[in-house]
Chain A
Amino acid sequence: SQQGEEDPQALSIQEGENATMNCSYKTSINNLQWYRQNSGRGLVHLILIRSNEREKHSGRLRVTLDTSKKSSSLLITASRAADTASYFCATRRGGADGLTFGKGTHLIIQP
Protein backbone atom coordinates (compact mmCIF):
# COMPACT_ATOMS: atom_id res chain seq x y z
CA SER A 1 0.00 0.00 0.00
CA GLN A 2 1.10 3.56 -0.54
CA GLN A 3 2.87 5.01 2.47
CA GLY A 4 2.48 8.62 1.49
CA GLU A 5 -0.69 10.27 0.36
CA GLU A 6 -0.40 13.69 -1.23
CA ASP A 7 -3.10 16.28 -1.02
CA PRO A 8 -4.42 17.75 -3.22
CA GLN A 9 -4.20 15.38 -6.16
CA ALA A 10 -4.18 18.34 -8.53
CA LEU A 11 -3.55 22.04 -8.04
CA SER A 12 -3.78 24.89 -10.53
CA ILE A 13 -2.59 28.37 -9.59
CA GLN A 14 -1.46 31.58 -11.24
CA GLU A 15 2.19 32.31 -11.83
CA GLY A 16 3.64 34.21 -8.89
CA GLU A 17 1.34 32.65 -6.33
CA ASN A 18 2.49 30.21 -3.68
CA ALA A 19 1.72 26.50 -3.98
CA THR A 20 1.28 24.25 -0.97
CA MET A 21 1.13 20.49 -1.13
CA ASN A 22 0.63 18.13 1.77
CA CYS A 23 1.67 14.58 2.44
CA SER A 24 0.58 12.12 5.09
CA TYR A 25 2.19 8.83 5.94
CA LYS A 26 1.40 5.89 8.17
CA THR A 27 4.46 4.35 9.77
CA SER A 28 7.53 5.71 11.51
CA ILE A 29 10.14 7.11 9.18
CA ASN A 30 13.81 7.90 9.06
CA ASN A 31 13.42 10.74 6.63
CA LEU A 32 10.98 12.19 4.13
CA GLN A 33 11.89 13.43 0.69
CA TRP A 34 10.13 15.40 -2.00
CA TYR A 35 10.66 14.71 -5.69
CA ARG A 36 9.49 16.41 -8.86
CA GLN A 37 8.59 14.66 -12.09
CA ASN A 38 8.08 16.50 -15.34
CA SER A 39 5.81 14.83 -17.85
CA GLY A 40 7.47 11.80 -19.40
CA ARG A 41 10.67 12.26 -17.43
CA GLY A 42 12.42 10.73 -14.45
CA LEU A 43 12.21 12.00 -10.90
CA VAL A 44 14.36 14.80 -9.57
CA HIS A 45 15.16 15.07 -5.90
CA LEU A 46 14.11 18.40 -4.38
CA ILE A 47 14.69 18.25 -0.66
CA LEU A 48 15.17 15.82 2.23
CA ILE A 49 14.05 16.36 5.80
CA ARG A 50 15.13 14.07 8.59
CA SER A 51 12.77 12.79 11.24
CA ASN A 52 14.39 15.00 13.89
CA GLU A 53 13.95 18.15 11.81
CA ARG A 54 10.84 20.28 11.70
CA GLU A 55 11.51 22.67 8.84
CA LYS A 56 13.91 23.01 5.98
CA HIS A 57 14.45 25.55 3.22
CA SER A 58 16.02 25.31 -0.19
CA GLY A 59 15.68 28.30 -2.48
CA ARG A 60 11.95 28.82 -3.12
CA LEU A 61 11.11 25.56 -1.38
CA ARG A 62 10.06 25.18 2.22
CA VAL A 63 9.33 21.80 3.76
CA THR A 64 7.84 21.11 7.15
CA LEU A 65 7.56 17.83 8.98
CA ASP A 66 5.26 16.98 11.87
CA THR A 67 6.08 13.47 13.05
CA SER A 68 3.33 13.54 15.67
CA LYS A 69 0.77 13.99 12.91
CA LYS A 70 2.74 11.95 10.40
CA SER A 71 2.49 14.73 7.87
CA SER A 72 4.65 17.01 5.77
CA SER A 73 4.06 20.02 3.57
CA LEU A 74 5.92 21.43 0.59
CA LEU A 75 5.59 25.13 -0.13
CA ILE A 76 6.80 26.60 -3.41
CA THR A 77 6.91 30.38 -3.24
CA ALA A 78 6.61 32.76 -6.19
CA SER A 79 5.67 29.96 -8.56
CA ARG A 80 6.86 29.92 -12.16
CA ALA A 81 5.52 28.20 -15.26
CA ALA A 82 8.54 25.88 -15.12
CA ASP A 83 7.29 24.56 -11.77
CA THR A 84 4.48 22.75 -13.59
CA ALA A 85 5.08 19.09 -12.76
CA SER A 86 3.99 16.27 -10.48
CA TYR A 87 5.34 16.36 -6.95
CA PHE A 88 5.80 13.25 -4.85
CA CYS A 89 6.62 12.74 -1.23
CA ALA A 90 8.61 9.65 -0.37
CA THR A 91 9.47 8.11 2.93
CA ARG A 92 12.34 5.97 3.98
CA ARG A 93 12.36 3.72 6.98
CA GLY A 94 16.09 3.80 7.44
CA GLY A 95 19.60 3.45 6.17
CA ALA A 96 19.78 2.25 2.61
CA ASP A 97 16.11 1.32 2.33
CA GLY A 98 14.14 2.01 -0.79
CA LEU A 99 11.61 4.81 -0.94
CA THR A 100 7.86 4.48 -0.58
CA PHE A 101 6.11 7.05 -2.73
CA GLY A 102 2.74 8.71 -2.55
CA LYS A 103 0.60 9.12 -5.65
CA GLY A 104 1.64 12.69 -6.19
CA THR A 105 0.19 16.14 -6.65
CA HIS A 106 -0.07 17.43 -10.20
CA LEU A 107 0.74 21.13 -10.11
CA ILE A 108 -0.15 23.43 -12.99
CA ILE A 109 1.12 27.00 -13.03
CA GLN A 110 -0.97 29.21 -15.27
CA PRO A 111 1.08 31.96 -16.99
Chain B
Amino acid sequence: DAGVIQSPRHEVTEMGQEVTLRCKPISGHNSLFWYRQTMMRGLELLIYFNNNVPIDDSGMPEDRFSAKMPNASFSTLKIQPSEPRDSAVYFCASSLALGQSYNEQFFGPGTRLTVL
Protein backbone atom coordinates (compact mmCIF):
# COMPACT_ATOMS: atom_id res chain seq x y z
CA ASP B 1 0.00 0.00 0.00
CA ALA B 2 1.33 3.44 -0.89
CA GLY B 3 0.06 5.01 2.30
CA VAL B 4 -1.61 8.40 2.46
CA ILE B 5 -0.57 10.51 -0.49
CA GLN B 6 -0.44 14.29 -0.34
CA SER B 7 0.32 16.80 -3.02
CA PRO B 8 2.08 19.05 -3.47
CA ARG B 9 4.84 18.37 -0.94
CA HIS B 10 5.88 22.01 -0.97
CA GLU B 11 3.96 25.09 -2.00
CA VAL B 12 5.17 28.65 -2.08
CA THR B 13 2.63 31.27 -2.98
CA GLU B 14 1.94 34.94 -2.58
CA MET B 15 -0.55 36.47 -0.23
CA GLY B 16 -4.02 36.61 -1.76
CA GLN B 17 -3.57 33.60 -3.99
CA GLU B 18 -5.73 30.50 -3.81
CA VAL B 19 -4.06 27.36 -2.52
CA THR B 20 -5.38 23.83 -2.96
CA LEU B 21 -3.91 20.91 -1.06
CA ARG B 22 -4.76 17.37 -2.07
CA CYS B 23 -4.98 14.07 -0.26
CA LYS B 24 -5.55 10.48 -1.27
CA PRO B 25 -6.33 8.32 1.77
CA ILE B 26 -5.42 4.68 2.15
CA SER B 27 -7.77 2.48 0.16
CA GLY B 28 -10.52 1.08 2.37
CA HIS B 29 -10.25 3.73 5.05
CA ASN B 30 -13.48 5.57 5.77
CA SER B 31 -12.25 8.44 7.92
CA LEU B 32 -10.09 11.32 6.75
CA PHE B 33 -8.54 14.09 8.81
CA TRP B 34 -6.80 17.36 8.00
CA TYR B 35 -4.30 18.74 10.53
CA ARG B 36 -2.08 21.80 10.58
CA GLN B 37 1.28 22.02 12.35
CA THR B 38 3.06 25.22 13.34
CA MET B 39 5.76 25.97 15.86
CA MET B 40 3.46 28.24 17.83
CA ARG B 41 0.31 26.14 17.95
CA GLY B 42 1.59 22.62 17.44
CA LEU B 43 -0.67 20.10 15.71
CA GLU B 44 -4.26 21.16 15.30
CA LEU B 45 -7.18 19.24 13.88
CA LEU B 46 -8.88 21.30 11.20
CA ILE B 47 -11.66 19.04 9.94
CA TYR B 48 -12.51 15.39 9.57
CA PHE B 49 -14.76 13.31 7.38
CA ASN B 50 -16.44 10.00 7.98
CA ASN B 51 -17.71 8.17 4.90
CA ASN B 52 -17.07 11.33 2.87
CA VAL B 53 -19.28 13.46 5.12
CA PRO B 54 -17.75 16.32 7.12
CA ILE B 55 -18.31 15.53 10.79
CA ASP B 56 -16.54 18.32 12.63
CA ASP B 57 -15.12 21.45 11.03
CA SER B 58 -14.84 23.44 14.24
CA GLY B 59 -11.07 23.55 13.85
CA MET B 60 -11.20 25.36 10.53
CA PRO B 61 -9.75 28.76 11.41
CA GLU B 62 -11.73 30.99 9.10
CA ASP B 63 -14.12 31.05 6.20
CA ARG B 64 -11.09 31.33 3.97
CA PHE B 65 -10.57 27.62 4.62
CA SER B 66 -12.75 24.99 3.02
CA ALA B 67 -12.47 21.23 2.58
CA LYS B 68 -14.23 18.74 0.39
CA MET B 69 -14.31 15.00 -0.02
CA PRO B 70 -16.13 14.25 -3.27
CA ASN B 71 -15.39 10.53 -3.04
CA ALA B 72 -13.72 7.97 -0.81
CA SER B 73 -10.35 8.34 -2.49
CA PHE B 74 -9.84 12.07 -2.66
CA SER B 75 -10.03 15.18 -0.50
CA THR B 76 -8.98 18.79 -0.92
CA LEU B 77 -8.24 21.60 1.50
CA LYS B 78 -8.53 25.02 -0.06
CA ILE B 79 -7.41 28.38 1.27
CA GLN B 80 -8.76 31.43 -0.53
CA PRO B 81 -7.33 34.00 -0.19
CA SER B 82 -4.14 32.84 1.47
CA GLU B 83 -2.32 34.91 4.11
CA PRO B 84 1.22 34.71 5.52
CA ARG B 85 -0.13 33.36 8.83
CA ASP B 86 -1.42 30.32 6.97
CA SER B 87 2.17 29.18 6.50
CA ALA B 88 2.43 25.76 8.11
CA VAL B 89 2.74 22.07 7.38
CA TYR B 90 -0.64 20.57 6.54
CA PHE B 91 -1.12 16.87 7.18
CA CYS B 92 -3.78 14.54 5.95
CA ALA B 93 -4.48 11.31 7.82
CA SER B 94 -6.85 8.42 7.31
CA SER B 95 -8.14 5.56 9.41
CA LEU B 96 -10.73 2.83 9.45
CA ALA B 97 -13.48 3.57 11.92
CA LEU B 98 -15.97 0.83 12.73
CA GLY B 99 -18.62 2.04 15.12
CA GLN B 100 -16.85 2.68 18.38
CA SER B 101 -13.80 0.70 17.33
CA TYR B 102 -10.83 2.99 17.33
CA ASN B 103 -7.93 2.47 15.03
CA GLU B 104 -4.69 4.26 14.47
CA GLN B 105 -4.48 7.13 12.07
CA PHE B 106 -2.02 6.95 9.21
CA PHE B 107 -0.47 10.25 8.30
CA GLY B 108 0.71 11.49 4.95
CA PRO B 109 4.09 13.21 4.53
CA GLY B 110 2.51 16.65 4.72
CA THR B 111 2.45 19.73 2.52
CA ARG B 112 4.73 22.54 3.60
CA LEU B 113 2.95 25.78 2.69
CA THR B 114 4.73 29.11 2.62
CA VAL B 115 2.68 32.23 1.94
CA LEU B 116 4.82 35.27 1.18
Contact = CB atoms under 8 A, between A and B. Distances in A.
Interface in A29-45: 30-31, 33, 35, 41-45
B42 A42 contact: no
Interface in B81-116: 91, 93, 95, 97, 99-100, 102, 104-110
Contacts, number: 63
Interface in B4-62: 4, 30-31, 33, 35, 42-45, 48, 50, 55-56, 59
A58 to B, nearest CB: 12
B109 A33 contact: no
Nearest to A45: B104
A42 B107 contact: yes
A45 B105 contact: yes
A42 B108 contact: yes
Interface of B: 4, 30-31, 33, 35, 42-45, 48, 50, 55-56, 59, 91, 93, 95, 97, 99-100, 102, 104-110
| 10 nearest CB pairs, A to B | A96-B97, A101-B43, A98-B45, A45-B104, A42-B107, A43-B107, A103-B42, A98-B48, A42-B109, A96-B50
